[in-house]
Structure 1
Amino acid sequence: MKAIAITSPGAPDVLRAIERAAPVPAAGELLIRVAASGINRPDVLQRKGLYPVPPGASDLPGLEVAGQVVDGDAAALAAASIAVGDRVCALVAGGGYAELCVAPVGQCLPVPRGLSDIEAASLPETFFTVWSNVFERAHLQPGETLLVQGGTSGIGVTAIQLAKAFGARVIATAGSDDKCAACVALGADHAINYRTHDFVAEAKRVTDGRGVDVILDMVAGDYIARELQCLADDGRIALIAVQGGTAAQIDAGAVLRRRLTISGSTLRPRSVAFKTAIAKALRTHAWPWLEAGRVKPVIHQVFPAAQAAEAHTLMESNQHIGKLVLTW
């Protein structure tokens, strides 16, 4: 099969097209002929040598794919009501930048009705991450307010739409007026340009001083102390990345007095059982929203797989809105 490999840690040009033997599905796995592969920020970190591959996972980058099932564990396929020939999208721990990819059956979902393989490939990583952190860890409820940091990222566009479909109010931050407008177009009730406005003051203003209930944060660093000021009493921060650094100085007394929660998680190293449970929740709750058009994939640009380096360059420029996808 053809694949895109990281030849050494470094800049985007270390991504090279290679040929290697096709993977063989083990017990509980299926083999997908990949039509499209989603690109995510962890792929960039792995390329730079900053995100180690979990034990047993492919060394190839790529955490989500969509395509056609071509082989697999017959018993596992039958138990999941998946058949050879079905179109699926899948969350994987690696190996997504390839023509063929193995995936645990429980981490596979049918391509939502009406969606292309390119659209489906943009779903798993962000949908699993947002569902796990916003709805399960931070327990966002209908009628509550969610603040999404980085509203035009792949995670951001997913969080805005899922929270609105769930009945929450959404505030998003972004780095330009155009990106703020894109957040509002996706359903955000308010968008804050963090380069020209203090997001703490703005979040307080648009909530009449109450603050927000949940914050989805991929920045960390000095953002955490500021985010604690944004929270309403009993508010929760769901931390999913540390793009702004790992060190934070906070007012622990305020956390105690106001019953605040800071929660963090990473998805890639979690167990297949954990991810399977998220897949079931998405199938029940989010997939009907996708099929009804209430939530839509947001694709900024599609690249032939051979142009993976160009796609990574664009991702690192932070000029995109939504997802970048490779096709095979």
Structure 2
Amino acid sequence: MTWAPPSSGQVLIRVRTAGAGFPDLMMTSGQFPLLGAPPFGLGEEAAGEVVAAAPGSRFSPGDQVTGITGFLEGWGGYAEYAYIRENSAIRIPRGMTDEEAGGFPIGFRTAYAGLVERAPVHSGQTLLILGAAGSSGAAALQLGKALGATVIAVAGSQEKLEFCAGLGADHVLNHRTDDLTARIAEITGGRGVDLIYDPVGGDTAATAVKSLARNGRIAMIGLASGAPVKIDSMDMLLRNYSAVGVLAVPNDDPDAETAVWDRLADLAQKGAITTPVGQVYGFDEVPRMIGEQSAPAAGKSVVRVSS
């Protein structure tokens, strides 16, 4: 097979695994806000072996890497070969499986953007995570624990609550059967939570906002419910809380972005964070995978592209 040499800032890999998720469904239905009309490349993240790198790259052919693909330019991860962003990539940490590597970049880079860069959570604070059994929420759950927060995980089934507890959540709540407001008040002694990590939006997020402590924040990550959370600006004023938008785009300073990835790789190497692998699909099952992302099972969906 022939391919164009990678441009500066790109690395070309032979793909073994690629992370999957709700954005794939948004892209194929024409609802992904960063992309126009198709065609475009599905698969935001991928792991595999470097086959070519631009001159001056910190990677070399033969390196085993995982990173964010050039999906915005049409080079997605569901392919034999994919271009990935050099500054959004790391060498695969020792002991990380292919499936864990393929599903690592997006969830943890988004969690880092939310919990460190945009709405920092500090040791001793209380973090409420919506959709905590999903790929984004489960990554934030682990990173929040690594940062020293007390984590309240919210999910929609007993299986998913058990999944969250297994990842280290301090408390688990079922948004379908629990009175979230009452249970959060009970857990926090009436104080409320310091930060809400919200990949869900909709009514569940609107209910959670009622439990924000004074000077609390809601980090708006996504809209898995189909709509972002509606924020009442007068309520925000009177209760003195903030809403923060989170889009995990690379830092303008390449060295700063590399430092983020180095920190995530170090946490993974130490076992503080790990990809919460859920369903693993074969490459021929990508259409079925996309269809199932509206109501995925617990954990991070991953596509096995090649052996």
Cα distance in 1 between the residues matched to 2:177 and 2:283: 37
1:29-40 alignment, distance < 5 Å: 29-40=10-21
Matched, 1:125 2:103: no
Question: Structure 1: any 5+ residue segments left out of the alignment?
Answer: 2-20
Q: Which stretch of structure 1 is more off in the superposition, 216-225 or 274-283?
A: 274-283
Q: Is the 8 A contact 1:34 1:65 kept in 2?
A: yes
**1:317 CA displacement:** 3.1
1:294-305 alignment, distance < 5 Å: 294-305=272-283
Matched, 1:280 2:259: yes
Matched, 1:92 2:69: yes
Matched, 1:144 2:121: no
Cα distance in 1 between the residues matched to 2:276 and 2:13: 23
Cα distance in 1 between the residues matched to 2:288 and 2:250: 32
- Which residue does 2:176 correspond to in 1? 195
Question: Counterpart amino acid of 1:86?
Answer: D
Q: Is the 8 A contact 1:131 1:278 kept in 2?
A: no
Paired residue secondary structure (1:273): coil
Q: Is the 8 A contact 2:160 2:298 kept in 1?
A: no
Paired residue secondary structure (1:74): coil
- What's the % identity of the aligned pairs? 33
TM-score, length-normalised on structure 1?
0.84
Question: Counterpart amino acid of 1:200?
Answer: T
Q: Is the 8 A contact 1:65 1:90 kept in 2?
A: yes
User: Which of 136, 140, 159 is residue 140 of structure 2 equivalent to?
Assistant: 159
Matched, 1:244 2:225: yes
Distance 1:84 1:40, change over 3 A: same
Q: Which stretch of structure 1 is more off in the superposition, 177-186 or 167-176?
A: 177-186
Question: Structure 2: any 5+ residue segments left out of the alignment?
Answer: none
Distance 1:30 1:248, change over 3 A: closer
**1:165 CA displacement:** 1.3
Paired residue secondary structure (1:214): strand
Deviations 1:6-40 (A, max 9, x none): xxxxxxxxxxxxxxx74541122111111111102
**1:288 CA displacement:** 2.1
- Which residue does 2:213 correspond to in 1? 232
Cα distance in 2 between the residues matched to 1:255 and 1:36: 43
Q: Is the 8 A contact 1:143 1:169 kept in 2?
A: yes
- Which residue does 2:301 correspond to in 1? 323
**1:53 CA displacement:** 5.5
Q: Is the 8 A contact 1:148 1:156 kept in 2?
A: yes
- Which residue does 1:308 correspond to in 2? 286
Question: Counterpart amino acid of 2:283?
Answer: A
Paired residue secondary structure (2:183): helix
Q: Is the 8 A contact 1:233 1:260 kept in 2?
A: yes
Deviations 1:244-300 (A, max 9, x none): 354755443332233211011333xx457378744422312x322211222222111
Q: Is the 8 A contact 2:88 2:261 kept in 1?
A: no
Distance 1:58 1:281, change over 3 A: farther
Q: Is the 8 A contact 1:236 1:260 kept in 2?
A: yes
Cα distance in 1 between the residues matched to 2:257 and 2:142: 18
Question: Counterpart amino acid of 2:158?
Answer: D
Cα distance in 1 between the residues matched to 2:277 and 2:101: 10
User: Which of 22, 25, 32 is residue 41 of structure 1 equivalent to?
Assistant: 22
Question: Counterpart amino acid of 1:211?
Answer: G
Question: Counterpart amino acid of 1:87?
Answer: Q
**Alpha-carbon RMSD:** 2.3
